[in-house]
Amino acid sequence: MRREIAALGIAASCESADLSAASRDASPAALFWNQARLVHHPPDVVAWPEDAEQVAALLQLAGARGVPVVPMGAGAGTGGGAVALRGGIVLDTRRLTLPLRVDLPGNAVEVGAGMSAERLEERLAYAGATLGHLMPPNDPGTVGGWLATRGAGMLSSRHGSSADLVLSLEAVDGAGEILHTLEGAGGGPDLAQLLLGSEGTLAVFTSARLRIWPRGRGRWLRAVRFPSLREALRAVRDVVRAGLQPSVVLIHDPLDSLLGGAEPPRVPQPLKWLVEGAQVEAMRLALHAPRLLNRLVDALPSSSLALLGFEGVDEADAFREGEAALSLCARAQGEDLGTATAARCLESARRASWTHGPLLAAGGFVETLDVATTWDRAEPLLAAVRGAVEGLAFVRAHFAHAAAEGCALELKMLGLAGAPAEAMTRVPAEDAEAEMEEAQQRREAVWGAALAAAADEGATISHHSGIGASRQVFLRRELGEGIRQLRALKKAFDPKGILNPGKVLL
């Protein structure tokens, strides 16, 4: 197959190092297989097309041969959406980087789907613009990855998620036909919105025209402490329903509120082992009793910390919105802790993914789950999920992405998967694989319990991380009979069934 792809003028490889790199994303399962030095889902070949025409030619060839094609950006997803479950071709999109065109008068940018998120924001900043969607520093995700999962950056509360930024799209469907969507209002269904969030099962994104904004000069950031999580949620709800548009919204549960507080936190020792990255043995000991850890969180002071940030064309503009938000928070007994605490908490949130290393080395796992619900269901949702998994994993949580209707709940579930990473490197390959299979079952138990609890509470099963291979079992429950119509669309866009099989719509 590699020679046939190369004959189309497309770079391709069957080298073991390339196949191994293309066999995993950033999900906990993939990280554990990597630690065991095992390649769990290798493709047969990796291809690097450079424009829409090459993508079309590749998909036409794959369709004629009946070979699966899995689009992959930087492999930054956490749900297995870009893993080749059935071999075939991994279509690496990172060379789809057409010349960047920044249109400041039109408030738009034309960008290839393979452009990295961080690089795009850097280029826009140089031009005096922003997406207003900023991902955390060092995030390796791509524009195509945003679009495929309807991604939302940390600062998306003001201008919305990637779906809100799209003006027009170019994509290639499973038959190898190049699709273009129109910019501006049009009649009938919106093809762009139909393709967004399809995770490579309907088409492969090749480029997009996105909405951008002038880069504001004004910044306002505060941390506000409330007597309880309930008051914090109500205050932030009132802020966004008053028409204010914060760029930063983070509402912490009691544990993370203590860790981000103005004073040194008084946290029980087992919790410190986990949150501060203590030695391997101590972390393993703590993870042996997840129910106890969760009960310790319940015993902590109930105060909740909320971060609110505003941006404006100048300092006065940002200050005006920020002070209006503080007035609403004060009505809910919110105490202004100032900018220093807020900056420390925001930096901690940006570094959150970097702290997973010690836990993985200890034989633990971190499952991340983002769901969304209405404001009145937010606190019961957290209680339901924590109760469902309390005997399986330790839960940390915060709320973000505030809108008038509700917000997202972002969870980190920490559990014990198996032997420490160092021990795994010394066991025979067959024993390591058996250990990984058992670890996978434990992680799936946590994942299933959490998603079932979220579904029972009427929450969405994903806010911005997509469905992938990990949440699709619950998609039918969320969509009901709508799943049948979506599968009919799948056949229309992908008649040979080659695009990312086993994902989203099965």
Comparing C-alpha atoms, which of 176, 162, 166 is closest to residue 60? 176
Give the model's pLDDT for residue 244: 94
Range with lowest mean pLDDT among 34-48, 192-206, 302-316, 466-480 = 34-48
Q: Is the pLDDT of residue 291 over 80?
A: yes
Q: Is the pLDDT of residue 146 over 70?
A: yes
Residues 137-163 have a mean pLDDT of 82
- Assign 262 a pLDDT band (cuts: 50, 70, 90): very low
Give the model's pLDDT for residue 212: 94
CA distance 145 to 153: 12
Residues 73-102 have a mean pLDDT of 90
Averaged pLDDT of the chain: 85
Please name the helix (run of DSSP H) or strand (run of DSSP E) that holds residue 385, with its range, or none: helix 378-389
Model-level pTM? 0.88
Residues 195-218 have a mean pLDDT of 93
Give the model's pLDDT for residue 267: 56
The contacts of residue 327 (CB under 8 Å, 6+ apart) are none
CA distance 38 to 361: 16
Q: Kindly state the percentage of the chain with pLDDT values over 70.
A: 84
The strand pairing partners of 252, in sequence order, are 398
Per-residue model confidence as pLDDT tens digits over 350-405: 666 555 666 776 677 888 899 999 999 999 999 999 999 999 998 889 999 999 99
Range with lowest mean pLDDT among 289-303, 365-379, 388-402, 437-451 = 289-303
Q: Looking at per-residue confidence, does 61 or 303 come out higher?
A: 61
- Assign 302 a pLDDT band (cuts: 50, 70, 90): confident
Q: Which fold has domain 101-214?
A: 3.30.465
Q: Kindly state the percentage of the chain with pLDDT values over 90.
A: 50
- Identical topology for domains 101-214 and 219-456: no
On whether the CB atoms of residues 95 and 44 are closer than 8 A, the answer is: no
Q: So what CATH class is 2-92?
A: alpha beta
- How does DSSP assign 425-471, residue by residue? TTS-HHHHHHHHHHHHHHHHHHHHHHHHHHHHTT--S-SSS--TTTS
CA distance 371 to 159: 19
Maximal C-alpha separation, the chain = 68
CA distance 427 to 290: 27
Single-letter code of the amino acid located at 489:
L
- Assign 102 a pLDDT band (cuts: 50, 70, 90): very high
On whether the CB atoms of residues 107 and 213 are closer than 8 A, the answer is: yes
Q: Looking at per-residue confidence, does 215 or 439 come out higher?
A: 215
- Assign 211 a pLDDT band (cuts: 50, 70, 90): very high
- Assign 264 a pLDDT band (cuts: 50, 70, 90): very low
- Assign 418 a pLDDT band (cuts: 50, 70, 90): low
Single-letter code of the amino acid located at 425:
T
Using the 8-state DSSP alphabet, how is residue 230 labeled?
H
Q: Looking at per-residue confidence, does 26 or 112 come out higher?
A: 112
Q: Where along the chain do its domains lie?
A: 2-92, 101-214, 219-456
Q: In what order do the strands lie in the sheet with 11-13?
A: 11-13, 45-48, 89-92, 69-72
Q: How many CB atoms lie within 10 A of CB 396?
A: 21
Per-residue model confidence as pLDDT tens digits over 469-484: 878 888 888 888 888 8
Angle CA(274)–CA(278)–CA(281) in degrees, nearest 5? 95
On whether the CB atoms of residues 109 and 95 are closer than 8 A, the answer is: no
Burial 82-119 (b: 16+ CB within 10 A, else e): bbbbeebbbbbbbebbbeeebeeeeebbbbbbbbbbbe
Q: Which fold has domain 219-456?
A: Vanillyl-alcohol Oxidase; Chain A, domain 3 (3.40.462)
Give the model's pLDDT for residue 263: 47
328 — phi, psi (to 5°)? -65, -40
